[in-house]
Structure 1
Amino acid sequence: MHEATWMIVLAVGLDLALADPLWLPHPVRAIGAGYAALDALADRLGLRTRLFGVCCVALVAAASGGVVWLAGRIPGIDFLCAIYFAYAGLALGGLWREGRKAAALLTKNQVEAARTVVAGLVSRDVTGLDAAGLWRALAETVAENANDAFVAPFFWLAVAGLPGLWAYKAISTADSMWGYRTPRYRDLGWFGARADDVLAWLPARITTLGMWIASRIMGLGRGVRFDDVAADAKKSASPNAGWPMAAAAWLCGASMGGPSVYFGQLVRKPALGPVGRPWDAKRFAMLLRLVLFASGIVVVVTVLL
Structure 2
Amino acid sequence: MTFSVSHVLTAYVADLLLGDPPSWPHPVRWIGRLIEKAEGVFYLDSERKSGFSTVLEPDGASDGRLRVLGIAFWMAVLGAVGAVVTGALLVCHLIHPFPAALLGVWIAYTCLATRSLYDESAAVARALSAGRLQEARRLLSRIVSRDTGHLDEEGIWRALVETVSENLSDGVVAPLFYLALAGPVGAVVYKTVNTLDSMVGYNNERYRDFGWFSARMDDLFNYVPARLTAVLLLAAGTLWGLDLRRGWAVLKRDARKHKSPNAGFPEAAVAGLLGVQLGGPGVYFGRAVEKPSLGDPLTVPDERAFRHTTRLLFTVSAAAAFLAALARALWG
> Which TM-score tier does this pair reach, normalised by the shorter chain?
over 0.9
Structure 2 residue 77 is the aligned partner of structure 1 residue 55: no
Q: Normalization by structure 1: what TM-score? A: 0.95
Q: CA deviation at 1:302?
A: 2.9
| Corresponding residue of 1:121 | 143
Q: For the Cα contact (< 8 Å) 1:207–1:295, is it kept in 2?
A: no
Structure 2 residue 85 is the aligned partner of structure 1 residue 84: no
**Deviation sequence 1:43-67 (CA, Å, 0-9, x none):** 2321761111111111111111221
Structure 2 residue 223 is the aligned partner of structure 1 residue 201: yes
| Corresponding residue of 2:32 | 32
Aligned counterparts of 2:190 and 2:278: Cα–Cα separation in 1: 27
Give the letter aligned to residue 185 of structure 1.
Y
| Corresponding residue of 1:216 | 238
Summarize the Cα distance change of 1:128–1:44 in structure 2 as closer, same or farther, 3 Å threshold: farther
Comparing 264-273 with 126-135, greater Cα deviation is found at 126-135
Q: For the Cα contact (< 8 Å) 1:253–1:283, is it kept in 2?
A: no
| Corresponding residue of 2:60 | none
Structure 2 residue 64 is the aligned partner of structure 1 residue 64: no
Q: CA deviation at 1:166?
A: 1.4
| Corresponding residue of 1:139 | 161
Match of 1:95 among 98, 101, 117: 117
Aligned counterparts of 1:94 and 1:19: Cα–Cα separation in 2: 5
User: For the pair shown, which has the larger CA radius of gyration, 1 or 2?
Assistant: 2
Aligned counterparts of 2:9 and 2:88: Cα–Cα separation in 1: 20
| Corresponding residue of 1:170 | 192
Secondary structure in structure 1 of the residue aligned to 2:292:
strand
Structure 2 residue 271 is the aligned partner of structure 1 residue 270: no
Aligned counterparts of 1:222 and 1:37: Cα–Cα separation in 2: 47
| Corresponding residue of 2:13 | 13
Q: For the Cα contact (< 8 Å) 1:61–1:168, is it kept in 2?
A: no
Q: CA deviation at 1:153?
A: 1.0
Give the letter aligned to residue 83 of structure 2.
G
Count of residues in Structure 1 that have an aligned counterpart in Structure 2? 304
**Deviation sequence 1:198-253 (CA, Å, 0-9, x none):** 11000001100000111112111254151321211010111100000001111122
| Corresponding residue of 1:299 | 321
Q: CA deviation at 1:301?
A: 2.7
**Runs of 4+ with deviation above 6 angstroms:** none
Q: CA deviation at 1:24?
A: 0.7
Q: Percent identity?
A: 38
Aligned counterparts of 1:55 and 1:147: Cα–Cα separation in 2: 27
Q: For the Cα contact (< 8 Å) 2:180–2:325, is it kept in 1?
A: no
Q: CA deviation at 1:276?
A: 6.3
Q: CA deviation at 1:100?
A: 1.2
**Deviation sequence 1:253-281 (CA, Å, 0-9, x none):** 21101111222221111101113632111
Structure 2 residue 258 is the aligned partner of structure 1 residue 236: yes
Secondary structure in structure 1 of the residue aligned to 2:304:
helix
Match of 1:227 among 226, 231, 249: 249
Aligned counterparts of 2:158 and 2:247: Cα–Cα separation in 1: 22
**Deviation sequence 1:103-154 (CA, Å, 0-9, x none):** 1111111111111221111111112222222111111111000000110111
Aligned counterparts of 2:172 and 2:286: Cα–Cα separation in 1: 29
Aligned counterparts of 2:122 and 2:324: Cα–Cα separation in 1: 27
Aligned counterparts of 1:218 and 1:10: Cα–Cα separation in 2: 26
**Deviation sequence 1:159-206 (CA, Å, 0-9, x none):** 122222111111110111111111111011101110010110000011
Summarize the Cα distance change of 1:266–1:110 in structure 2 as closer, same or farther, 3 Å threshold: same
Alignment of 1:155-166 (within 5 A): 155-166=177-188
Match of 1:261 among 283, 301, 316: 283
Give the letter aligned to residue 162 of structure 2.
E
Question: What is the aligned-residue RMSD (CA, Å)?
Answer: 1.6
Aligned counterparts of 2:73 and 2:46: Cα–Cα separation in 1: 13
Which runs of 5 or more residues in structure 2 are unaligned?
55-65, 328-332
Secondary structure in structure 2 of the residue aligned to 1:266:
strand
Aligned counterparts of 1:67 and 1:38: Cα–Cα separation in 2: 15
Q: Normalization by structure 2: what TM-score? A: 0.88
Give the letter aligned to residue 63 of structure 1.
A
Match of 2:134 among 112, 125, 131: 112
Which runs of 5 or more residues in structure 1 are unaligned?
none
Comparing 81-90 with 258-267, greater Cα deviation is found at 258-267
Aligned counterparts of 1:169 and 1:222: Cα–Cα separation in 2: 31
Give the letter aligned to residue 25 of structure 2.
P
Give the letter aligned to residue 31 of structure 1.
I
